[in-house]
Amino acid sequence: RGPQLFKTDPAGYFAGYRATAAGAKHQEAFNYLEKKLKGDELLSTDDTVELAIGTLSSVLAANFKSQDLEVAIVTKDNPKFRVLTVEEIDAELTRIAEKD
C-alpha cells in the first residue's frame, strides 16, 4: 500500500488520512486540505510542499519568506527525513507566487 499517514490522540484512537493538521487552527487547516484534496489524485513532492505552504499561508493569513519556514519531507523513494534548504523553500515560494 505504500506510505501512509496516521494521527493518534492521547486515548490511543488512530485514523488514517491523506493529509492532516495539528496545533492552533488545526480545524481550519484540515478543512482547507479537505477542499484542496478532492478525489484520489496523487500529488508530486513539489505539489505536496506547495499545498503545505499554501495551507499555512491561507489559514494564518500570512505571506512567508523562506527564512520563516522549516519544511521536511520523507518520500517512498527517499525514506530518510530531510529538511529542505532555505534555497529549496525559496524556490517553492517562487513557484507558488508565479501561480498566483
* pLDDT tens per residue, range 8-33: 989 999 999 989 998 899 999 999 99
Residue 1 clears pLDDT 70, i.e. is over it = no
pLDDT-derived band of residue 38, with 50, 70 and 90 as boundaries? confident
pLDDT greater than 70 at residue 45: yes
Judge whether residue 78 has pLDDT over 80.
Answer: yes
Query: Which residues partner with 81 through β-bridges?
Result: none
Cα distance between residue 54 and residue 63, in whole Å: 9
Closest by Cα among 16, 15, 50 to 36: 50
pLDDT exceeds 80 at position 34: yes
C-alpha distances in angstroms, 25 versus 28, 47, 57, 66, 99?
5, 22, 12, 22, 25
Distance CA 37, CA 45 (A): 14
Note whether 20 and 32 are within 8 A (CB).
no
